[in-house]
Structure 1
Amino acid sequence: MKICFIQHEPYVSLGYFRTWVKDHHYDLQIVDCHTQKPSPQLANDADMLVVLGGPQNPHTTLSECPYFDAAAERATIKAFIAQQRMVVGVCLGAQLIGETLGIPYEHSPEKEYGAIPVHLTNEGHRDSLLQNFQDGALLGEWHNDMMGTNSHTPVLAASAGCPRQIVRYGSLVYGLQCHMELTPHDYEILLEKMGTIINCHQQYHYVQSAKHIRQIDCQPMNLNLANFLDLLVKRYQS
């Protein structure tokens, strides 16, 4: 089993994804957008594509960010879907899945930074990949936007600040606006690199202070991610 990651920034890391890959002895491939362009050819020998987050948005142009090629990423996502591979998008990655399917991303009603309670929708309770999901668990958040959806892409989980936390785009294709992969180290790096808004946390309902963020217990959200990924692989193999 080979898991391929598209990484947009070195400080937006694989987090717990790396631990999960290592624990299962899967092969790991990382496409660093700073040095390598994503390609549809990746779908020829990888079983899963994970598109990570980043400070860009799906409409960021090459002139604005020369190493972020949204068109190449959409083509890569499309190839994985066409070959019936697993595709998981996180934050920006989830928004790119929607854009690939012709569903535009949107701005989230609220900014969310820290860890926010996320609850399953009725459709989420019926999705077998979320059967072990800890409903109402605090999940990592670090976003201003949210993925697009339509009548064919059910929302499986939502928070008070963002109505689209988990979306099913296909039986093997899921978008995660939340960051269940975050570890304490990842939070520390995000605070260092992208934590300016944290200084204004009192202006926002769902932006937490640096002190609060440093006290987040990441193990429950990491377990939710592991359970989801294990069931996704089981579905793929069947």
Structure 2
Amino acid sequence: MRTHFIVHESFEAPGAYEDWVRARGYEISYSRVHEGDALPVGADGIDLLIVMGGPQRPSTTTQECPHFDADAEKALIVACIEADKAVIGICLGSQLVGEALGAAFDSSPNTEIGSFPVSLTAAGRRHPFLVGLGDTFDTGHWHNDMPGLTEDAVVLATSEGCPRQIVAYSRYVYGFQCHMEFTPACIEALIEHSEKDLADLADRPYVQQPDQLRANDYTAMNERLATFLDRLAADYASR
């Protein structure tokens, strides 16, 4: 499973996604755009494209953030989808996937930062990559927006704070608004970058502060993510 990551910022690390790729011995490559790396010119050499999160929005321009080219990333996403590759977008990445398919991103009803439960929808409970993982389970969150929905999109998971947590756009294309990849190292990097913002949001119902963020146990959700990815990879390989 040749996996390519688009990483927007040093503090938005691939975490458990990268751990999974390395543990399975799959090929791995990166476009760390915050370091000036170029995007792949097309889908050749990619089986799974993983587009990470970031503080940007899909509407952020290159004038506002020179290293973030939303149109170029959406073009690569479309190229991978048209080549029948697997694509997973996380947070900002999920919004870019929706936009690449013609569904505009939207503001989430609530800012969510921390560990809060998501609940699988009826479609999520039946989904072959999620079945048996539990109707409700805790995941990481760090967002203000959420992905748009195409006509064919199916919402697989929701939370009290956001109605679009996991979205299936097709059998191999997914948007994860939630962060199932968080590890303690990921959380430390995010806290270091966002400590003032966290203090400013202290009165929000779905925002945890640094001590709680550090105390959360992210192990179980990492294991669920690995199961999802294993099932996706096996299905993709069996075509």
After TM superposition, the score normalised by the length of structure 1 is 0.97
For 1:40 and 1:131, locate their aligned partners in 2 and report how far apart those are by CA, in whole Å.
Answer: 36
- Deviation of 1:46 after TM superposition, in Å, equals 1.1
Give the structure 2 partner of residue 141 of structure 1. Answer: 141
**Counterpart position of 2:107:** 107
Is 1:68 the counterpart of 2:52? The answer is: no
Distance 1:30 1:132 in 2: 32
Q: Deviations over 1:118-176 (max 9, x none)?
A: 00011111211101423321100000000011441010000000000000011100000
Matched letter for residue 172 of structure 1: Y
Q: Does 1:235 align with 2:235?
A: yes
Could you tell me which residue of structure 2 aligns to residue 127 of structure 1? 127
Equivalent AA in structure 2 for residue 39 of structure 1: P
Q: Figure out how many residues of one structure are paired with residues of the other and give that number.
A: 237
CA distance in 2, matches of 1:90, 1:68: 16
The DSSP-based 3-state class of the residue aligned with 2:226 is helix
Q: Which residue of 1 aligns with 2:40?
A: 39
- 1:103 positional shift: 0.1
Task: Give the CA RMSD over aligned residues.
Answer: 1.1
In structure 1, the residue corresponding to 2:181 is in which secondary structure?
Answer: coil
- CA distance in 1: counterparts of 2:214 and 2:86, whole angstroms: 33
Corresponding position: 1:53 with 2:56: no
Matched, 1:216 2:206: no
Contact 1:37–1:72 (CA under 8 A) maintained in structure 2: no
Counterpart amino acid of 2:176?
A: L
Structure 2: distance between partners of 1:76 and 1:202 = 38
Of the structure 1 ranges 150-159 and 194-203, higher mean CA displacement relative to structure 2 is found in: 194-203
Partner-residue secondary structure (3-state), 2:9: coil
CA distance in 2, matches of 1:40, 1:139: 33
Letter of the 1:51 counterpart: V
Paired with 1:3 and 1:60, the residues of 2 have a C-alpha distance of: 26
What is the distance in 2 between the residues matched to 1:63 and 1:2?
Answer: 32
Deviations 1:19-47 (A, max 9, x none): 11111000110111131232342x10111
The percent identity for this pair of structures is 43
Q: What is the match of residue 77 of structure 1?
A: 77
Counterpart Cα distance in 2 of 1:169 and 1:226: 20
What secondary structure is seen at the aligned counterpart in 2 of 1:9?
A: coil
Check conservation: 2:101, 2:150, Cα contact below 8 A.
no
CA distance in 2, matches of 1:59, 1:37: 20
In structure 2, the partner of 1:200 is 200
Which residue matches 1:168? Answer: 168
CA-to-partner distance for each residue in 1:72-123, whole Å, 9 max, x for gaps? Answer: 1001000110110100000000000000000000000000000110000111
Query: What is the rounded CA distance, in whole Å, between the counterparts of 1:46 and 1:179 in structure 2?
Result: 23
* 2: CA distance, partners of 1:106 / 1:177: 12
Give the gaps of 5 or more residues in structure 2.
none
Whether contact under 8 Å (2:125, 2:135) holds in the other structure is no
**Contact map agreement 1:12 1:190 (CA 8 A) in 2:** yes
**Counterpart amino acid of 2:219?**
Q
Contact 2:150–2:169, Cα closer than 8 Å, also in 1: no
Q: SS of 2:50's equivalent?
A: strand
SS at match of 1:145: strand
Q: Secondary structure at the match of 2:129?
A: helix
2:4 is aligned to 4
Q: Is the 8 A contact 1:134 1:224 kept in 2?
A: no
Question: After TM superposition, where is structure 1 displaced by more than 3 Å over at least 4 residues in a row?
Answer: none
Question: Aligned-pair distance for 1:201?
Answer: 4.0
The equivalent residue for 1:156 is 156
After TM superposition, give the deviation of residue 197 of structure 1 in Å: 2.7
Report if aligned partners of 1:40, 1:75 keep a CA contact under 8 Å in 2: no
Consecutive unaligned residues in structure 1, runs of 5 or more:
none
Once the two structures are overlaid, the 10-residue window that deviates more, 166-175 or 132-141, is 132-141
